[in-house]
Chains A and B, each alone.
Chain A
Amino acid sequence: MSKFNRKLKEGTPGISTASLPDIVFMLLFFFMVTTVMRETTLFVDVTIPKATEIRKMEKKSLVSYIYVGAPVKRLQTSYGTKPRIQLNDAFAEVGDIQEFIASERESHDEKEIPYMTFSIKADEEVKMGTVIDVKQELRKANALKINYSTRKGTY
């Protein structure tokens, strides 16, 4: 009993917080390195379909995205609910894809062009008609390496 009391009187020594900044900095650097900032603001709602046979995409810098989906809620009053294509930061028509491909190619090294991939991020509910149009444009521009963006899961 007396032993216990004595201990209480001494009081617990405070934990040193001197190394706290170091720990926090370590975490900070981890998140800084792994962070990928979202480059584009999405104007279309995209729920990508699920699939099981998926592969990871290599070399993110060589991938360009084509979004297809219905406009987001706040834009539906002015743009309607019909699925639309989004390239970079704006809505686009099928005819704009050629130009988009050309500008994407221009921003890359000539040697890298054959390895460039165009990833189609389309919503599950989109009809194939729109996707077919996009694919035909890609074929016309000779951008044959494509990727259907999907997430892991069983349908």
Chain B
Amino acid sequence: MARSNRELQEINAGSMADIAFLLLIFFLVTTTMDVDTGIARKLPPMPEEEQQEDDSQIHARNIYVVLVNSNNQLLVEGTYMDISQLKEGAKAFIDNNGVLPDLSDNPEKAIISLQNDRGTSYKTYIQVQNELTAAYNELRNKAALSEFGTKFYDSSKSQQKIIRKKYPQKISEAEPKNVGE
């Protein structure tokens, strides 16, 4: 009988807040809120042994050559260019539609060829990739706005597909070569 009496006693919940605070502080300290972000890319598959690279099909005007040397300088279509001009340059090239004779026929045929040295810094490489992506994003946004009235990433999957077809992002990276690190 005495035992059952003891069972009726309530547990003191006064220290509950303390325990909860302790746990709360632990989780506050260990929490990392960062969301992972980045630039997504698709690598080309490894070429087959016998397969020969066939560039002859592509007209020279449809290739926009971007070279980056080990001093992080850019050579675009044979002339020196500052990175701040790259986006406008790429946009003019992609969206030329056959107007100027040395730029692309149309956005579907346009290919950007990127080649960098082994000594190029990763920072510059990301900047170049970023500028080229920005060029495509701006063109896609413009097209999406005029056709569907929404930005590219806000439009539906099927709408995105149409825009993607019109402005395919063709960034080709040449096999790396070494010009001294």
Query: Any chain B CB within 8 A of the CB of A90?
Result: no
Would you list which residues of chain A between 5 and 58 have a CB under 8 Å from chain B?
17, 20-21, 24-25, 27-28, 31-32, 34-38, 49, 51-57
Q: Is the CB of B123 within 8 A of A125?
A: yes
Query: Any chain B CB within 8 A of the CB of A145?
Result: yes
Q: Is the interface of B mostly helix, strand, loop or mixed?
A: mixed
Q: Is the CB of A52 within 8 A of B130?
A: yes
Number of interface residues of B (CB under 8 A): 44
Query: Any chain B CB within 8 A of the CB of A155?
Result: yes
Would you list which residues of chain B between 23 and 65 have a CB under 8 Å from chain A?
23-24, 27-28, 30-33, 35-46
Q: How many A-B residue pairs have CB under 8 A?
A: 148
Q: Is the CB of A128 within 8 A of B116?
A: yes
Q: Is the CB of B24 within 8 A of A131?
A: no
Q: Is the CB of B119 within 8 A of A119?
A: no
Once A49-B127, A147-B41 are accepted as A-B contacts, the answer to whether A128 and B119 lie under 8 Å apart by CB is yes
B146 to chain A: closest CB distance in Å? 21
Q: Is the CB of B123 within 8 A of A119?
A: no
A58 to chain B: closest CB distance in Å? 10
Q: In the complex, A117→B105 CA distance in Å? A: 34
Query: Any chain A CB within 8 A of the CB of B75?
Result: no
Question: In which size bucket is the chain A interface?
Answer: 35 or more
Nearest A residue (CB) for B133: A53
Q: Is the CB of A55 within 8 A of B20?
A: no
By a CB distance below 8 angstroms, the chain A residues around B38 are 54-55, 57, 119, 147-150
With beta carbons under 8 angstroms apart, the residue of B121, B137, B181 that contacts A124 is B121
With beta carbons under 8 angstroms apart, the residue of B13, B33, B39, B46 that contacts A147 is B39
Q: In the complex, A122→B16 CA distance in Å? A: 45
Query: Any chain A CB within 8 A of the CB of B21?
Result: yes
Q: Is the CB of A142 within 8 A of B20?
A: no
Q: In the complex, A151→B45 CA distance in Å? A: 27
The list of the 6 closest CB pairs from A to B, nearest first, reads A129-B118, A31-B27, A124-B123, A53-B133, A51-B130, A24-B20
- Residues of B near any A CB (own CB < 8 A): 13, 16-17, 20-21, 23-24, 27-28, 30-33, 35-46, 116-123, 125-127, 129-130, 133-134, 137, 176, 178, 181
User: What are 16 A-B contacts with C-beta separation under 8 Å?
Assistant: A21-B13, A28-B24, A51-B127, A51-B129, A54-B39, A56-B35, A57-B35, A63-B36, A124-B121, A124-B123, A127-B122, A129-B178, A138-B43, A145-B40, A145-B42, A146-B43
- Residues of A near any B CB (own CB < 8 A): 17, 20-21, 24-25, 27-28, 31-32, 34-38, 49, 51-57, 60, 63, 68, 117, 119, 122-129, 131-132, 135-136, 138-140, 142-152, 155
